[in-house]
Structure 1
Amino acid sequence: MIEAGLLDDRRVELLNGLVLEMAPEGPDHADLSTGVAEFLITRSQGRYQVRDAKPITITETGSEPEPDIALVRRQAYRQGHPTPADVFLIIEFANSSLEKDTDEKRHAYAAAGIADYWVANLRDGVLIVYRDPQGDDYQQEQRLNDGTIAPLAFPDLIIDVRALL
């Protein structure tokens, strides 16, 4: 449907075999995701690529979500989108999408083995950090509203939690 242009006028993503409409970004969502992406790009030092609202392919669950930010292996993706083996970190900024990001997407990312998944809950001002995927869920969940955090793959990449909220 996407390749045929049937959904050209709509923001959609494929999740668990279903085409889901994406909520429009509010100003806080757009501003925060842009600022965090810029910060991560300046700190990459050639170690990863920052993909901003671009698809990743999860064949196991029939999904092609478009996370707000994904840190992926640095390489060309002209033949296909990054797969879970390429993903170091996914960050979603959630307001109206909070339930989807902490439920369907959490389970899809865990089932794919994505080790580090963060949801910036803009409603409540808390960063939810999911780690240690087993089966279709994460074994660790941490909630932060201040302090610092670093991606598992890049422990030297220190990020102020408030910058994500």
Structure 2
Amino acid sequence: MTLTLVRHQFTVKQYHQMAESGILTENDRVELIRGEMIDMSPIGTRHAGCVLFLNNLLALLLGGRALINVQNPLELNETSEPQPDIALLKPRADFYRNSHPQPEDIFLLIEVADTTVKYDREVKIPLYAEANIPEVWLVDVNQEIIEVYRNPIDEIYQDVKNLGKNQVLSIQAFPDVNINVSELF
């Protein structure tokens, strides 16, 4: 006899209701991925420093052309509300006070990883492709490389490249913004 485990899938609406009712608190470091609540890894110093550096660098380079959203939720669909390390968003007068950003609001997502590289690459990046996010960077602080994902077609990124030290990276939505990968590490 084979035992099949049934998992309860949550919607974003149910996830929000759990927070509103106090089942989930601000101290719960979870994100909703494909209907499942996933514990987020603790943030190490290299990870935190890289996110802080990127936040400051992007603010300087973009000069207000995009909103920089740091470790806040995005509502991708009815069952996924991830919290990427950085999201470059289209400016809105309400600064997204009335709703979390949706896929059409996103220029670029950045995931910084030290212990979660495999998870980010195999779970979150495909989720972003399915949501048609135009560009995603996976910053691997251990290998000191950036994986760049662009051009999602049929839920798969068509253009994938790895950039290492002394290579220059640009943002697809802002081609005038250039970053030397060496600066990040």
Query: Mind listing any 5+ residue stretches in structure 2 that lack a counterpart?
Result: 1-17
Higher relative CO (CA 8 A, sep ≥ 6), structure 1 or 2?
1
**Deviations 1:81-117, CA, capped at 9 Å, x for gaps:** 1111010001111111111210111111000111110
- Secondary structure of 2:87's counterpart equals strand
User: Equivalent residue for 1:33?
Assistant: 51
Question: Does 131-140 or 50-59 show the bigger shift?
Answer: 131-140
On the 8 A contact 1:67/1:92 being kept in 2, the answer is yes
Question: Does 42-51 or 147-156 show the bigger shift?
Answer: 42-51
TM-score, normalising length from structure 2? 0.84
User: Equivalent residue for 1:66?
Assistant: 83
- Secondary structure of 2:174's counterpart equals coil
- Indicate whether 1:163 and 2:180 are aligned: no
Q: How far did 1:161 drift?
A: 1.0
Work out the CA distance in 2 between the residues paired with 1:144 and 1:46.
26
Question: Does 18-27 or 123-132 show the bigger shift?
Answer: 123-132
On the 8 A contact 1:53/1:69 being kept in 2, the answer is yes
Work out the CA distance in 2 between the residues paired with 1:121 and 1:96.
9
Letter of the aligned partner of 1:26 in structure 2?
G
* 1:1-165 aligned within 5 A: 1-8=18-25, 9-59=27-77, 62-75=79-92, 76-146=95-165, 147-165=167-185
Q: How far did 1:139 drift?
A: 1.3
TM-score, normalising length from structure 1? 0.94
Aligned length: 164
Query: Mind listing any 5+ residue stretches in structure 1 that lack a counterpart?
Result: none
- Percent identity, aligned pairs only, is 36
